[in-house]
Amino acid sequence: MTDAVLARPDELDEAAALLEGKPAPEVLAWASERFGARLTFATGFGAEGCVIIDLIARAGLRVDVFTLDTGVLFPETLELWRALEARYGIEIRAVRPAQTIDAQALVHGPRLWERDADRCCELRKVQPLRAALAPFEAWITAIRRDQTAERAGARAIEADRKFGLVKVNPLVGWAHHDVWGHIYAHDVPYNPLHERGYPSIGCRPCTSAVAPGEDPRAGRWRGAAKNECGLHTTKEQGT
């Protein structure tokens, strides 16, 4: 894949300005028309991801969908995966790391996530994602600006220099109540862990319930100075 699209920042700036504040279906429609079969959606099965799958299906868009199966997902997440496929008649491809958990333990020691969470995320998420995105020109994400400080400056359409393609963020301007309003209004399947104190759900060993009043992402890598797995950070961009 070349970076021809990224060589035209003017197009991305114009698209971002055009789509700022526009409804999510309009952002998705623009991306589908612009990139066609070179557009994919990576879902982690969070509430936002379920909403995007619903929006894609409602619009009849032909978008490739995959997820990073790290080998340590919650059983509830695996059940939701199948429920979404059944509800919308789609296939959500599994993208897996090069090593199983056992194979990783032989090389890096057991429970790497407890000793070096960044390295574990790199092996089980970032590297597989990089390989999965290689055939595509643009990818859809479910990030919102209000989720973390790192995401506060995100735009609906932007260059993703870390992975060398275009990032499409249709829910970037949504708030928590927008997401759940859509889920309830359209009976969208979602992870039951959300009702058990898990507002943000990742891998089972690195996700814990959140107490009332805590930040919604306090349960991710609890006790560590970390709130991103590396998929949406720009450390490799030199910025």
Q: What is the domain-level CATH number for residue 48?
A: 3.40.50.620
> In this predicted model, what pLDDT tens digit does every residue of 73-90 receive, in sequence order?
999 999 999 999 999 999
Domain tally, the chain: 1
68 in any annotated domain: yes
Across residues 27-51, what is the average pLDDT? 97
Question: Does 6 or 14 have the greater pLDDT score?
Answer: 14
Residue range 130-150: average pLDDT?
Answer: 93
What is the percent of the chain with per-residue pLDDT over 90, rounded to a whole number? 82
Say yes or no to pLDDT of 234 above 80: no
Report pLDDT for 233: 55
Residue 4, in any domain of the structure: no
- Range of lowest pLDDT (18-27, 52-61, 98-107, 150-159): 150-159
pLDDT higher than 90, residue 176? yes
With respect to residue 171, please indicate whether it lies within any of the assigned structural domains.
yes
Residue 2 lies inside a defined structural domain of this protein: no
- Residue 1 located in a structural domain: no
Q: Is residue 9 predicted with pLDDT exceeding 60? A: yes
Grade residue 6 by pLDDT with cuts at 50, 70 and 90: very low
26 pLDDT tier (thresholds 50, 70, 90): very high
Q: Are 174 and 144 in contact (CB under 8 A)?
A: yes
Catalytic annotation, pick one of 50, 120, 206, 229: 229
pLDDT computed for residue 208 by the predictor: 95
C-alpha distances (whole Å) from 140 to each of 91, 158, 177, 220 are: 16, 11, 21, 22
Owning domain of residue 92: 9-237
Position 118 in a domain: yes
| pLDDT above 80 (res 174) | yes
For residue 3, being part of any structural domain is answered with no
Mean pLDDT (the chain, rounded): 90
Q: Is 36 or 239 the better-scoring residue by pLDDT? A: 36
Structural domain includes residue 158: yes
Return the structure tokens found at 90: 């789609």
Centroid of chain to Cα 73 = 14
pLDDT digits (tens, 9 = 90+) for 179-218: 999 999 999 999 999 999 999 999 999 999 999 989 888 9
229 is catalytic: yes
Return the HEC string of the chain.
CCCCCCCCHHHHHHHHHHHCCCCHHHHHHHHHHHHHHHEEEECCCCHHHHHHHHHHHHHCCCCEEEEECCCCECHHHHHHHHHHHHHHCCCCEEECCCCCHHHHHHHHCCCHHHHCHHHHHHHHHHHHHHHHHCCCCEEECCCCCCCCHHHCCCCCEEEECCCCEEEECCCCCCCHHHHHHHHHHHCCCCCHHHHHCCCCCCEHHHECCCCCCCCCCCCECCCCCCCCCCCCCCHHHCC
Residue 6, Cβ density class (10 Å: 0-12 exposed, 13-18 middle, ≥19 buried) = middle
Label residue 10 by pLDDT band (50, 70, 90): confident
